[in-house]
Amino acid sequence: MDKLVIEGGIPLQGEITISGAKNAALPILCASLLAETPLKLSAVAKLKDVGTTITLLEHMGVQASRSEDRVVLDASHIHTQEAPYEMVKTMRASILVLGPLLARFGHARVSLPGGCAIGSRPVDLHIKGLQAMGAEIHIEHGYIEARASKLKGARYFMDMVTVTGTENLMMAACLADGTTVLENAAKEPEVVDLADCLIKMGARIEGAGTDIITIHGVERLHGCDHQVVCDRIEAGTYMVAAAMTGGCVKLNNARADLLDAVIEKLRDAGVTVESDATSITVKSNGKLKAVNIRTAPHPAFPTDMQAQMMALNTIADGVAKVTETIFENRFMHVQEMQRLGAQIEVEGNTAIVRGVPKLEGATVMATDLRASASLVLAALVASGETIIERIYHLDRGYENLEEKLTALGAKVKRTS
Ligand code: UD1
């Protein structure tokens, strides 16, 4: 299994380009199932999760071709509406095929994703929403078996804000009979990007980016050209890297308007952040103040940046409270950061982080995607060498991580 070896202590300098967002690409790839003609996508990052989704779509009969960051998906001949356990278990977002398959073909059989490292993460709201639209759904042998000769528009209130749940129901509603109103919908930029793509495919959607999304069903959808929105979490991660190392980094293809909560916290920590429409520049002298963080749905502070901001707090001046409200088990980076000398105590869903003057290199283990990113950040400032094991998590969400860090002057190498 691959490891990353990082020698800390180098202020990052230079510029890099941020990739297309993983969390936008995954639902948009699944949206290809709704279209009768090819969907042509660009800015699709070369990531493990993207590859897994394409393999799953190919298993169903989608013709996929890929070159560089472009992917063309032709779902005109689907021969199975089943997403098998072997494929779903490796990636929870596979549940995103459920809505499109059911809406277009009247049937879907999708393995239940099951638990995952960062909490139990049920899919009950996806199921209840589809039932509200008239689907008959049974759970059999670990599979969601869904049928509906034609979904019907409905008003559905989600009692928790769910990103993929909103996306699944929005996609399903595009081909339903009549109007669907999704209340308490997720407002994440990736939901908006999916809606933008669906609208180009012929869907009639209003209100994406607000908590009420209205979808007027249409008879059919067609392919279109769509460029996936930039990855705000990848950008946020490099922003924290620049801040922690006391560097100066310009991120191209990055949008500050998608990162308000993160930028505000970085400024509170004493970091300079400047931006224009397509880039963000971060400057830091490495002297950071502790900042409290509380995760919540967009536009509040994203849970996918919690571990990275905790890394920043480990070397900041003062004591920070980091509260996680989205997932119940998302502090697995704490133990590993402690191995690097961080002082962190966990009380329920809050971590109390007491900044220390210096972290020290050690061997640590990556446990999930964003936890792994936070360990890379810690390693970039730790004295000596840090070895990060099990970095396959990073390959799920960060395109060309070593290349990008190396371009900024970091000493990073991958070994087996
Ligand atoms: C998505 C993102 C993930 C991010 C998360 C929260 C993708 C592919 N992944 O995950 O990176 O960390 O949003 O911003 O976009 N819940 C239920 N029932 C449901 C659905 C969700 O109880 O049917 C709960 C979950 O357990 C969790 C909360 O709702 O506590 C939010 O989860 P959700 O927004 O659905 O996360 P994902 O869409 O899986």
- Write the pLDDT tens digit of every residue in 219-276: 999 999 999 999 999 999 999 999 999 999 999 999 999 999 999 999 999 999 999 9
376: helix, coil or strand? Answer: helix
The closest of 277, 283, 333, 339 to 309, measured between CA atoms, is 333
Structure tokens at 149: 């000769």
Identify the pLDDT of residue 329.
81
Q: Which of 164, 192, 211, 305 to mutate to test the pocket of ligand 1 (most atoms within 8 A of CB)?
A: 164
Q: How far is the CA of 121 from the centre of ligand 1 (A)?
A: 7
Q: Which of 174, 45, 43, 168 is nearest to 96 (CA)?
A: 168
116 counts as catalytic: yes
352-366: b or e for each residue (b if 16 or more CB lie within 10 Å)?
A: ebebeeebebbebbb
**Do the beta carbons of residue 299 and residue 260 sit within 8 Å?**
yes
Per the structure block, which two tokens stand in for 395?
Answer: 């390959």
Q: In sequence order, which residues have a C-beta less than 8 Å from that of residue 137 and are 6 or more positions away?
A: 127, 130, 131, 144, 145, 146, 147
Q: Which of 30, 116, 224, 230 is catalytic?
A: 116
CA angle 343, 349, 350 (to 5 degrees): 40
Nearest protein CA to atom 29 of ligand 1, as residue: 162
Residues in the chain: 416
Q: Which atom of ligand 1 is nearest to the CA of 22?
A: 8
- Ligand 1 centroid – CA 274 distance (Å): 31
Q: Does 124 contact ligand 1 (Cβ within 6 A)?
A: yes
Is 190:27 a contact under the CB 8 Å cutoff? yes
169 close to ligand 1 (CB < 6 Angstrom): no
pLDDT in tens, 294-324: 999 999 999 999 999 999 999 999 999 999 9
Q: Is 388 helix (H, G, I), strand (E, B) or coil?
A: strand
- The verdict on the CB of residue 191 being under 6 Å from ligand 1 is no
pLDDT for 90:
86
Q: Is 370 in the pocket of ligand 1 (CB under 6 A)?
A: no
Mean pLDDT of the chain: 96
Closest atom, ligand 1, to C-alpha of 186: 34
- pLDDT value of residue 120: 59
- Angstrom CA distances, 313 to 31, 251, 354, 357, stand at 39, 22, 7, 11
Segment 367-386 shows an average pLDDT of 96
Q: Are strands 363-365 and 411-415 parallel, antiparallel or unpaired?
A: unpaired
Is 126 near ligand 1, meaning CB less than 6 Å away?
yes
Q: Which residues pair with 266 in a beta bridge?
A: none
- With residue 407 as reference, give the H or E element that holds it: helix 401-407
List of residues 6+ apart from 140 with CB closer than 8 A: none
CB atoms within 10 A of CB 147: 15
Is 92 touching ligand 1 by the criterion CB < 6 Å?
Answer: yes
What's the confidence (pLDDT) of residue 89?
87
> pLDDT by residue (tens digit) across 167-221?
999 999 999 999 999 999 999 999 999 999 999 999 999 999 999 999 999 999 9
Q: Looking only at Cα atoms, what is the longest distance across the chain? A: 63
Phi (first) and psi of residue 20, to 5 degrees: -65, 150
pTM for the whole structure: 0.97
Residue nearest to atom 7 of ligand 1 (CA): 23
Q: How far is the CA of 361 from the centre of ligand 1 (A)?
A: 33
Determine the residue of 90, 159, 162, 190 to mutate for testing ligand 1's pocket, defined as the one with the most ligand atoms within 8 A of the Cβ atom.
162
* Residue with CA nearest ligand 1 atom 15: 23
Q: Is the CB of 123 under 6 A from ligand 1?
A: yes
Ligand 1 atom 26: the closest Cα is on which residue? 121
How remote is the C-alpha of 217 from its chain's centroid? 27
Question: What tokens were used for 365?
Answer: 């283990």
Check pocket membership of 162 for ligand 1, CB cut-off 6 A: yes
Centre of ligand 1 to C-alpha 164, Å, is: 6
Average pLDDT over residues 61-80: 97
pLDDT score, position 114 = 62
Q: Among 360, 362, 369, which residue's Cα sits nearest to residue 390?
A: 369
The span from the CA of 402 to the CA of 139, in Å, is 42
pLDDT classification of 328: cutoffs 50, 70, 90: confident
Whether 160 is in the pocket of ligand 1, judged by its Cβ within 6 Å, is: yes
Cα(313) to ligand 1 centroid in Å equals 25
